[in-house]
Amino acid sequence: MRMSRMLMPTLKEVPSDAEITSHQLMLRAGMIRKMASGIYNQLPMGIRVFRKVEDIIREEMNAKGAQEISCALLVPAELWQESGRWDVMGPEMFRLKDRNGRDYCLGPTHEETFTHIVRNEITSYKQLPLNLYQIETKFRDERRPRFGVMRTRNFTMKDAYSFDADQEGLDKSYDDMFDAYTRIFARCELDNSPVQADSGAMGGSASAEFMVKSEVGEDEIVFCSGCDYAANIEKATSVNHESSTEEMKEMSEIETPNVHTIEELQEFFKMDAGQFAKTLIYYADGKTVAVVVRGDRDVNETKVANAIGGAVEFELASEDTIKAVTGAEVGFAGPIGIKADYLFIDQEVVDQRNVIVGANKTGYHIQNANFGRDFEGQVGDFRNVQEGDKCPKCGQPLEIMRGVEVGHIFKLGTKYSESMGATFLDQNGKSQPIIMGCYGIGVERTVAAVIEQHHDENGIIWPLAIAPYHVVVVPVNVKKEEHLENAEKIYKELEAAGVEVLLDDRNERAGFKFKDSDLLGIPMRITVGKDIVDGKVEFKLRKEADKEIISVDEVLDRVK
Ligand code: ATP
Ligand code: MG
Ligand code: MG
Ligand code: MG
């Protein structure tokens, strides 16, 4: 491609609204442009990179025998009503009506659609196992879109769903996906750690998140300094605080003087069935003090579903009373505003009452209400595991780091197949629900995470496998015939050999063009300048400082 013809709006200045490096560099390299909050358009230099990541994902999925399909993005409400999620999904789901008043959503995830497809086509164990995936746009009305394409409202996800006849089948499907993810991220040269993730309300089945350690991450991950223990803080335990989220629930039930039934609460809040997956209500002196609402993990964003609890204050109980009842001490947040959608509580309820985020017991706090976003306090006040706590596996000290979740794999079990009637006849002719798993990777977020790891002060340094182009040929001065003509010749030769190559034929100073090629992160640069009279050009790798003078004949060998 000739750069003089490209839509490649590079920026010299750091855009003021971009806080993190990857966001700044994606804007500066002309990969993306913002259209509205959490909504980006992808320009030529961006789309090439995203497509390469998609192709890597596609190859690795296909290698595991997964089959690509494409699902409609517009999903009829009926499917979500069948699974029970239509009512429990919070405002993160974009909903719309057609001209006849029928309800739809823009798919935020596609368990329902895939289950629907499979229930109509699969009847026998002989047709299983099956793994289907798509690489498509997802829509989520994120509460706080941020950091460029790291968290948007319109993004590309590879989502795969496995369908098995038995638990061993699911285990194999899950392991295959684990392996595929490891390979995908390795090919993108993205250093990452699989960590245990909370499997939430669906029971003890396995779940792993692929985390990229980074200060800009919105998750917290616990790592052991002595062994391979790694877990999302939502899931993590330690010898000091042996409380997992599940245990927290149990503890609450044992120690709470009065626990309301879900039916009573539904009546109280006037909410539909299913809106409370797990709700606990606390009393003190006959007065309601706090309610902890726990969502089904599949309900809303995983984060919320994993561990969200909120304490709703009633009757304006004093902080002392709350402390007395909940046992929370240090850093108890006190009454603060928290958005309704986060807690699956009607806005009206929130408007009328103070909502607090805190613990029912020290160390058994409400996890994952985002610190700084939803409440103020000291970092760490709300963690169930503290830095330096002892590892539950080996007893060595634990470290806590921030991470970006780039992928998530999960054993679903029969939640969807049961509610939506996706069954098969087993070897004995008996009808059984299909056992499912789901597996997601965010394409744009993966690219952003790669940039976080591969850049310097001059710009992006693309790993070869996902670079938008492999080589840029730069004539030093396009007005000099021998520069331009020879550059053209090399460019055409490389192109004919299948090399993805750019020709910087713009009438700009060499320094300007070098700056752009560094910013764009093109792995190899061939500069055609004064040495061309001796049949020589300059060869430079983006990731190294040294330049080398090589003969024109060598060029093809060097770049291939
Ligand atoms: P997060 O915890 O960051 O909100 P999630 O747990 O809700 O992510 P999943 O439902 O597990 O996300 O989706 C699978 C993958 O899709 C994530 O691991 C991530 O790479 C990507 N993803 C999720 N939400 C977004 C978003 N708003 N913008 C870009 N990518 C996203
Ligand atoms: Mg989310
Ligand atoms: Mg998550
Ligand atoms: Mg997730």
Which pLDDT tens digit goes with each residue over 116-141? Answer: 999 999 999 999 999 999 999 999 99
Higher pLDDT, 202 or 393: 393
From CA 58, how far away is CA 512, in angstroms rounded?
37
Residue 302 Cα to ligand 2 midpoint, Å, equals 5
Higher pLDDT, 449 or 274: 449
Percent of the chain with pLDDT over 70: 73
CA-nearest residue for atom 25, ligand 1, is: 151
Residue 307 DSSP SS3: helix
Q: How far is CA 249 from CA 234, 246, 354, 452, in A?
A: 13, 5, 23, 37
From CA 364, how far away is CA 244, in angstroms rounded?
8
- Asked whether residue 223 carries a pLDDT value surpassing 80, the answer given is yes
Q: Which two tokens stand for residue 179?
A: 């392996």
The sign of the torsion formed by the CA atoms of 240, 244, 245, 250 equals negative
Residue 191 Cα to ligand 3 midpoint, Å, equals 18
Mean pLDDT of the chain: 79
Residue 303 Cα to ligand 2 midpoint, Å, equals 6
Q: How far is CA 29 from CA 46, 49, 249, 462, 474, in A?
A: 8, 12, 48, 12, 17
CA-nearest residue for atom 16, ligand 1, is: 442
Give the CA count within 13 Å in the CB-facing half-sphere of 407: 28
Residue 486 DSSP SS3: helix
Peptide bond into 463 cis (omega under 30): no
CA-nearest residue for atom 21, ligand 1, is: 442
From CA 559, how far away is CA 539, in angstroms rounded?
9
Q: Which two tokens stand for residue 109?
A: 């995830």
Per-residue confidence band for 50, with pLDDT thresholds at 50, 70 and 90: very high
Per-residue confidence band for 384, with pLDDT thresholds at 50, 70 and 90: low
Residue 157 Cα to ligand 2 midpoint, Å, equals 12
- Asked whether residue 456 carries a pLDDT value surpassing 60, the answer given is yes
Report CA Rg, the chain: 27
Taking the C-alpha atoms of 340, 344, 350 and 356 in order, what is their torsion angle to the nearest 10 degrees? -90
Residue 424 Cα to ligand 4 midpoint, Å, equals 29
Lowest mean pLDDT among 11-20, 116-125, 313-322, 437-446: 313-322
From CA 282, how far away is CA 277, in angstroms rounded?
17
Ligand closest to the CA atom of residue 234: 3
CA-nearest residue for atom 5, ligand 1, is: 302
- Residues with Cβ within 6 A of ligand 1? 109, 140, 142, 151-152, 155, 157, 218, 301-303, 405-408, 440-442, 444-445
Tens of pLDDT, residues 481-524: 999 999 999 999 999 999 999 999 999 999 999 999 999 999 99
Q: Which two tokens stand for residue 293?
A: 């609402």
Please report the pLDDT score of residue 10 as a whole number. 97
Please report the pLDDT score of residue 237 as a whole number. 78
First to last CA, the chain: 18
In this structure, what DSSP letter does residue 430 have?
-
- Asked whether residue 300 carries a pLDDT value surpassing 50, the answer given is no
Residue 376 Cα to ligand 3 midpoint, Å, equals 21
Average pLDDT estimate for 103-119 = 97
Please report the pLDDT score of residue 375 as a whole number. 37
Average pLDDT estimate for 62-91 = 93
- Residue 215 contacts residue 229 (beta carbons within 8 Å): no
Phi, psi for residue 188 in degrees, rounded to 5 = -85, 5
- Residue 359 contacts residue 216 (beta carbons within 8 Å): no
Please report the pLDDT score of residue 283 as a whole number. 29
Higher pLDDT, 263 or 423: 423
From CA 99, how far away is CA 137, in angstroms rounded?
24
Q: In what order do the strands lie in the sheet with 103-106?
A: 74-76, 103-106, 94-97
Tens of pLDDT, residues 350-369: 333 333 333 333 333 333 33
Q: Is residue 183 within a helix (H) or strand (E), and if so which, with residue range?
A: helix 167-187
Q: How far is CA 558 from CA 187, 474, 476, 536, in A?
A: 21, 16, 20, 13
Q: Which two tokens stand for residue 454?
A: 């591969």
Lowest mean pLDDT among 175-184, 272-281, 406-415, 426-435: 272-281
From CA 220, how far away is CA 384, in angstroms rounded?
11
Instruction: Annotate 17-53 with b (16+ C-beta within 10 A) or e (fewer).
Output: ebebbbbbbbbbbbbbebeeebebebbebbebbbbbb
Residue 232 Cα to ligand 3 midpoint, Å, equals 9
Q: Which atom of ligand 1 is the closest one to the Cα of 157?
A: 16
Please report the pLDDT score of residue 89 as a whole number. 77
- Ligand 1 pocket test target in 151, 405, 411 with most atoms within 8 Å of CB: 405
Q: Which atom of ligand 1 is the closest one to the Cα of 142?
A: 27
- Asked whether residue 102 carries a pLDDT value surpassing 50, the answer given is yes
CA-nearest residue for atom 10, ligand 1, is: 302
CA-nearest residue for atom 22, ligand 1, is: 442
Which range, 67-81, 276-290, 293-307, is most confident? Answer: 67-81
Q: Which atom of ligand 1 is the closest one to the Cα of 209?
A: 18
pTM over 0.90: no
Phi, psi for residue 163 in degrees, rounded to 5 = -130, 115
The sign of the torsion formed by the CA atoms of 252, 258, 263, 265 equals negative
Q: Which two tokens stand for residue 43?
A: 């320009």
Give the closest residue to 467 by CA, choosing from 105, 264, 187: 187
